[in-house]
A and B are shown apart, each in its own frame.
Chain A
């Protein structure tokens, strides 16, 4: 099995099954979220990451609850990959008191501190310095942990990105910067927005390794993450990983899809990370069809009971609107 990618040898069978389940959970969570929205059952907006699941799950493979992540407005995948419960996520999406943020945050602010998830963020680049701050805490508290910072290609032109990479580098902090390059910041392509060909090239300016990986390949992403996490934990400092990927859905509910072609969307859909992961698991003899079906069904059961939990949950009490502003 000389051709088996490193990730399949590095992780246990249970870990790989868990990764597949998380990819199914993310996909099905977002399909149900989209469906609920289209049927008028939910409110506000949402940003779907359908097509980007391998990046979220692959990056989180070497992480434990002691490790932090910060996420983005397109963060459902990161939450589930880091261990969030779909029921509390749906409840938040539906604005329920049982949601992760008691209905105060919605889709763009789901966090789960028990799993080290410091939260999605509605501001492009907002979470980047926060992740560096979490890494500063890790260093001071002498913990064996890392802070992983997810952001999109759009954030690579924010000042916070550049300031944060610089500080993480000069202080050699345990951070892994993960740019999910899905080719567009809303409607503006990276060719039109970004001065470098690869966003990973930005790493040179901040004296850290920068690597570009196929973000739709679970094994490529997971291997890059394992290496970057090890480097961070050993005190060698941050890494910038660029995951090349694509969101097959629009930016948000307002997207009329005027900036990309059907051919382009179809070409990326053909590289869907989930069938690719399934194919590799089969080809390398790690899982058989029956086992894959079992994982898929387990994910489906979890999604259905999560939806049920969320739909039957109570709304927040309007009299409590000003609670949780202050600790004291």
Chain B
């Protein structure tokens, strides 16, 4: 292997690289967001792009989430390829109108005559002490809306490849980026490649229990799997990667092999991603293969708290995953 082939960069560098490649290749690609220019973005993802491509293409917006998102939607409607960064996904609540009523529906409302190829990047999740208004995982809200595509890459490789895939199609794509992943390093090829939007990825194969996880929970599930291996419990970990359209086929196939399902996600448990995955199983022929009830392990029914111990207690941790998987296999529920 050459150095390049085993090159490792961080999740945020991978996103940076995808944006830089896209901007080099296509004049239509512009970046918009709060403090993404000289400041480099709240999480330093856009970095020095303003120096490479200029302030006309790396546009610092005023603190106007609704208007800014709307400008991105309008630009996408008229031939540009904007990538709009929300400083925190929580702030997308200020722009719901443009995302849900405009971007998502415009193509349908206008009978297929237009498309809105806007990409929105939304840093999400807890674990940084940012408390209730800067730590939410609201991706399920958006995945409820036909017309949007909602993706949640969990590795640097996918972060780059899925962003480049999003740029190659013509629908609005929301990319939820868990903040704890930004510093994660992994293999990322140089140059252009894509990872398709839609298919999930099996990160670990196992025969005893299927864990479907999203965002940071994929890494925690893989950690739990190592612990469970010591207890002779063989865990399969599926990284959902795309929430809409959801790859239920792979989950159904996995559950038919393992007969047990644990859904792990950081968003609030009730009416969340886990409910949708569970329903996909009970509505399918995998239902008859289940040896135990399905477990949803999601966020607590409270806002994300500040104090470190409380914050950890508010979302699933490795220990919680180990305990739930063990209970499933040993039929303690």
Q: Do A and B come from one complex?
A: yes
Stretch at the interface among B67-75, B132-140, B278-286: B67-75
- The reply to whether the CB of A285 lies closer than 8 angstroms to some CB of chain B is no
Cα separation A119 to B80 with both chains bound (whole Å): 18
Q: Which of A111, A118, A133, A138 has the most CB of B within 10 A?
A: A133
- The reply to whether the CB of B93 lies closer than 8 angstroms to some CB of chain A is no
Cα separation A326 to B108 with both chains bound (whole Å): 8
The size of the chain A interface, using a CB distance under 8 A, is: 47
Cα separation A60 to B68 with both chains bound (whole Å): 26
Chain B residues near A134 (CB-CB < 8 A):
74-75, 77-78
List the count of A-B residue pairs having beta carbons below 8 Å apart: 152
Cα separation A70 to B74 with both chains bound (whole Å): 10
Chain A residues near B66 (CB-CB < 8 A):
129, 159-160, 163
Taking a contact as CB atoms under 8 Å apart, the answer to whether B70 and A119 are in contact is no
Taking a contact as CB atoms under 8 Å apart, the answer to whether A136 and B80 are in contact is yes
Mask of A159-182 contacts with B, CB within 8 angstroms, 1/0: 110111011001000000000000
- The reply to whether the CB of B171 lies closer than 8 angstroms to some CB of chain A is yes
Taking a contact as CB atoms under 8 Å apart, the answer to whether A325 and B110 are in contact is no
The size of the chain B interface, using a CB distance under 8 A, is: 44
Q: How far is the CB of B302 from chain A (nearest CB, A)?
A: 29
Q: Which of B30, B78, B102, B109 has the most CB of A within 10 A?
A: B78
- The reply to whether the CB of B307 lies closer than 8 angstroms to some CB of chain A is no
- The reply to whether the CB of A273 lies closer than 8 angstroms to some CB of chain B is no
Taking a contact as CB atoms under 8 Å apart, the answer to whether A328 and B74 are in contact is no
- The reply to whether the CB of B293 lies closer than 8 angstroms to some CB of chain A is no
Chain B residues near A160 (CB-CB < 8 A):
66-67, 70, 97
Cα separation A29 to B252 with both chains bound (whole Å): 54
- The reply to whether the CB of B64 lies closer than 8 angstroms to some CB of chain A is yes
Which single residue of chain B is at the shortest CB-CB distance from A137?
A: B78
Stretch at the interface among B1-9, B14-22, B112-120: B112-120
In the complex with contacts A111-B110, A327-B107, A163-B67 CB distance below 8 A: yes
Taking a contact as CB atoms under 8 Å apart, the answer to whether B169 and A99 are in contact is no
Taking a contact as CB atoms under 8 Å apart, the answer to whether B73 and A129 are in contact is yes
Q: Which of B62, B111, B146, B169 contacts A166 (CB 8 A)?
A: B62
Chain A residues near B78 (CB-CB < 8 A):
68, 118, 133-134, 137-138
Taking a contact as CB atoms under 8 Å apart, the answer to whether A328 and B110 are in contact is no
Q: Which of B64, B75, B115 contacts A136 (CB 8 A)?
A: B75
Cα separation A323 to B111 with both chains bound (whole Å): 9
Q: How far is the CB of B186 from chain A (nearest CB, A)?
A: 28
Taking a contact as CB atoms under 8 Å apart, the answer to whether A167 and B71 are in contact is yes
Binding site for A on B (CB under 8 A): 27-28, 30, 56, 61-62, 64, 66-80, 82, 97-98, 101-102, 106-115, 117, 146-147, 149, 169-171
